[in-house]
Amino acid sequence: MSRTLSAALLAVALIPASIGADGLYFPPANGQWAHVDPASVGWDLKALDAALDYTRSAHSSSLVILLNGRILAEREWDVDGPARYARLRVGKTSDGRVIEDVASAQKSLVAFLAGVAEGRHQLDLTAPVDRYLGAGWSKAERSAESAITVRHLMTMTSGLNDSLAYLQPAGDSWRYNTGAYSRMIGVIEKAVGADIQTFTRDVLTGPTGMTDSRWLPRPWSSGNDAANPIGLATTGRDLSRYGLLILAGGKWNGNDLLRNPAYFRQMLTPSQPLNPSYGLLWWLNGQARFQLAGATVSQPGSLIPSAPRDLVAALGALDRKCYIVPSLGLVVTRLGDQTGEAFNNEFWKLLMKAVPSQKPFER
C-alpha cells in the first residue's frame, strides 16, 4: 500500500514525526488530531455535504472520514433508536463522542489479533480448533469436529449452524456464522496465554491510541446462539484509528504491529472460492460474486457497486461500518441505528461525487 509523496512533501526534512514513510499521518494518542480542509485538496463541498446529510438521515450517530490519516469530515448526532440500538449504545466519552458496541465489525479486529498471534508462531490457522479448545467444543461428532480448523472459523466454512451443531463437512459451504466465529476469542486466548482484553490492549489498542475501546460483556446475548457473549465497544474515532492501521499495512507510524505481511495479504483477499467477497473476517469489494450474511447462495456482482473496487470493510449489525479504500487514502467509519438496505451503495454513490479527480497521494 505504498504511496508516492506529493511534490510538497518530497523534502524529507520537512516531514513531521507523525508522517510515516508511506505519507500517512498518524494522530497522537493524546492531543489534537490534524484536520484537512476538503476544499483545499479539491473535494466538492456541496457533494460532500450531501453525503453527510444522507448519513445523518440514515439514523447515524457518528461519521468520521479520514484522508491519508487526517480528519476530512467528522459528525456526531443524537439518535433515539429502539431497544436494539439502545443495548449497543454504551455511553459517551468525556468530550461527547458516542461509544457503541460495534457488533460484527469486531470480527475484523479479531482478524488482526489472530494475525499477530500467527506471526508470533503462537497460533496455527491450519490446526484443528480442538488443539486450543479441547474436544467437545462443538455439538458435532468427534470425527467431524476434529476436521474443523481455525481457518474454517475465520472463513465462515465450519459446516456448523449457530448452535454449533453439524450441518455438513467443513469447507463445503459458506455460511455466515457468528456462533462458530465467536470461538475465536477462546482460541486466541489459549494460543497467546492471555485474556482477550489484555492481548488487545498490548498489541492493538494501546499502540494505536484507541483509548476508548474495550471488550464488554453482553448480558442480552444469553441464550442467543448467533451472538458473541462479549462485544468490542469503541468510538468512531477509535475505529478510524484501526482503519488507518489497515490502510498502512499493519504499521502504525513506522511501528510494524502485525509483522506478518503474508497474513496481511491473506486477510484482505478472497479466503475461499465459495464467497470471494469474504477474506479472513473482512468483507471485500470488487469481486465477481458476493454472498451476504444470512443469504444461502451467492449472486453475481460487486459487494458495493458504487464504491472503489479496492474497498475492504469491517461490517456489523445496525450498519456499523469501517471502510478502507487504499487507492483514495480513505478511511470511513459510521455508527448508529439501522440505516436500511441501500446505505452502502447510496452513501458511496454520493461520496464519490465529492472525490476530486486529482488525489493528494497516488499509488
Q: What percent of the chain has pLDDT over 70?
A: 94
Radius of gyration of the chain (CA): 20
Per-residue confidence (pLDDT) for residue 17, from 0 to 100: 56
Q: What is the pTM of this model?
A: 0.93
Nearest to 3, CA basis, from 251, 349, 323:
251
Nearest to 17, CA basis, from 238, 243, 254:
254
Per-residue confidence (pLDDT) for residue 20, from 0 to 100: 81
Is 336's pLDDT higher than 50?
Answer: yes
Cα–Cα dist 160/142, whole Å? 13
Alpha helices in 230-328 (DSSP H): 236-247, 261-267
Q: Which residues pair with 67 in a beta bridge?
A: 70, 330
**What does the pLDDT average to over 195-202?**
98
**What does the pLDDT average to over 212-216?**
98
Is 19's pLDDT higher than 80?
Answer: yes
Question: Whole-angstrom distance between the N-terminal and C-terminal Cα of the chain?
Answer: 7
Cα–Cα dist 248/78, whole Å? 32
Structural domains in the chain, sorted by start: 7-354 (3.40.710.10)
How confident is the prediction for the chain on average, in pLDDT? 92
Per-residue confidence (pLDDT) for residue 294, from 0 to 100: 92
Is 135's pLDDT higher than 50?
Answer: yes
pLDDT tens by residue, 223-236: 888 789 999 999 99
Say if residues 52 and 60 touch (Cβ distance below 8 Å): no
Q: Which residues contact 228 (CB under 8 A, 6 or more apart)?
A: 106, 178, 181, 182, 185, 218, 221
pLDDT tens by residue, 274-323: 999 999 999 999 999 999 999 999 999 999 999 999 999 999 999 999 99
- What is the largest distance, in Å, between two alpha-carbon atoms of the chain? 63
Cα–Cα dist 323/66, whole Å? 10
Q: Identify which has the larger pLDDT, 19 or 233.
A: 233
